[in-house]
Structure 1
Amino acid sequence: MGVSRRTFITTVAGGSAAAGLAALGVGSGTAAAATATSAASPAASAAGDVVGKISVGYQGWFACAGDGAPINGWWHWSQNWSQSPSPSNNAIKAWPDMREYSKTYQTAYSNFNGGGAATLFSSYDQQSVDTHFAWMKQYGCDAAALQRFNPNSSEGPTRDAMAQKVRNSAESKGVKFYVMYDVSGWTNMQSEIKTDWTNKMSAHTASSAYARQNGKPVVCIWGFGFNDSNHNFSAAACLDVINWFKGQGCYVIGGVPREWHVGGSGSRTGFDGVYGAMNMISPWMVGAIGTAADSDNVYNTYNVPDQAYCNANGIDYQPCVLPGDVSARQRTHGDFMWRQFYNMVRAGAQGIYISMFDEYGEGNQIAKTAENASMVPAGSGLLALDEDGTACSSDYYLRLTGDGGKMLKGQIALTATRPTPPVAGSASTGTVISLLALANNEYVTADNTGTSPLIANRTAIGTWEQFDMVDAGSGNIALRAHANSLYVCADNTGTSPLIANRTAVGTWESFQLIHNSNGTVSLLALANKQYVTADNAGASPLIASRTAIGTWEQFTLITA
Structure 2
Amino acid sequence: MASSLRYATLVALFGLGSCVVSTQHTERQISSIDRSTLDGKLFVGYQAWFRKPLEDDGNSHWTTDTPSPEVGHVGVDMIPNITGYPSECLFDTPFTLPGGGNAQFYTNDCEGVVDMHFKIMADNGISGAFMQRFYGYINEASGGWVNILNYTKIAAEKYGRGFVIEYDLNGAATTSTNVTSTFLADLAALNSIISSPAYMHHNGKPVLEIWGFGIVTSVTVDDGIAIVTALKNAGWYVILGVQQAWHAELAANQPGGYGSVYQLADMIQPWTVGAYDMSSYDSFHDGRQAVEDANALRDMGIASSIVVWPGGSSSNANPSETFDHFPRWNGTFYQKQLDGAVNLKPTFIFGAMFDEVNEGTAILPLLRNKELPTNQKFLGIDDNMEPDAYVKMAGDAALKFASTS
- Aligned counterpart, 2:168: 182
Q: Any unmatched runs of 5+ in structure 1?
A: 1-45, 413-560
- Aligned counterpart, 2:11: none
The Cα shift of 1:162 comes to 1.5
Change (3 A) 1:353 1:192: same
Cα deviations by residue, 1:487-521 (Å, 9 ceiling, x for unpaired): xxxxxxxxxxxxxxxxxxxxxxxxxxxxxxxxxxx
- Aligned counterpart, 2:234: 248
Change (3 A) 1:286 1:214: same
2:91, 2:249 → 1: CA distance? 48
- Aligned counterpart, 1:379: 375
Q: Match of 2:262, SS? A: helix
- Aligned counterpart, 1:196: 186
Preserved CA contact (<8 Å) 2:311 2:361: yes
Change (3 A) 1:62 1:323: same
Using structure 2 for the length normalisation, give the TM-score.
0.81
1:288, 1:318 → 2: CA distance? 16
The Cα shift of 1:49 comes to 3.4
The Cα shift of 1:197 comes to 1.6
In the alignment of these two chains, the number of paired residues is 354
Alignment of 1:210 with 2:195, yes or no, is no
- Aligned counterpart, 2:345: 348
- Aligned counterpart, 2:309: 322
Change (3 A) 1:263 1:72: closer
Cα deviations by residue, 1:28-65 (Å, 9 ceiling, x for unpaired): xxxxxxxxxxxxxxxxxx99532211111000101114
Larger relative strand fraction: 1
- Aligned counterpart, 2:14: none
Of 310, 314, 331, the match for 2:328? 331
- Aligned counterpart, 2:80: 96
Using structure 1 for the length normalisation, give the TM-score.
0.59
Alignment of 1:136 with 2:121, yes or no, is yes
Partner letter of residue 88 of structure 1? G
Preserved CA contact (<8 Å) 2:306 2:341: yes
1:408, 1:91 → 2: CA distance? 34
Q: Any unmatched runs of 5+ in structure 2?
A: 1-33, 314-323
- Aligned counterpart, 1:393: 386
Q: Match of 1:262, SS? A: helix
Partner letter of residue 107 of structure 2? S
Alignment of 1:276 with 2:263, yes or no, is yes
1:322, 1:246 → 2: CA distance? 29
Larger relative helix fraction: 2
Q: Match of 2:361, SS? A: coil
Moved over 6 A (4+): 264-268
Q: Match of 2:403, SS? A: coil
1:81, 1:407 → 2: CA distance? 44
- Aligned counterpart, 1:237: 223
The Cα shift of 1:402 comes to 0.9
Preserved CA contact (<8 Å) 1:92 1:360: yes
- Aligned counterpart, 1:514: none
Alignment of 1:309 with 2:301, yes or no, is no
Q: Match of 2:246, SS? A: coil
Of 359, 363, 366, the match for 2:356? 359
RMSD (Å) for aligned C-alpha atoms: 2.5
Alignment of 1:61 with 2:63, yes or no, is no
Which structure ranks higher in relative contact order (CA pairs < 8 Å, sequence separation ≥ 6)? 2
- Aligned counterpart, 2:6: none
- Aligned counterpart, 2:398: 405
Q: Match of 1:147, SS? A: strand
The Cα shift of 1:215 comes to 1.6
The Cα shift of 1:338 comes to 1.3
Partner letter of residue 171 of structure 1? E
Q: Match of 2:284, SS? A: helix
The Cα shift of 1:345 comes to 2.4
1:157, 1:220 → 2: CA distance? 21
The Cα shift of 1:72 comes to 4.8
Partner letter of residue 221 of structure 1? I
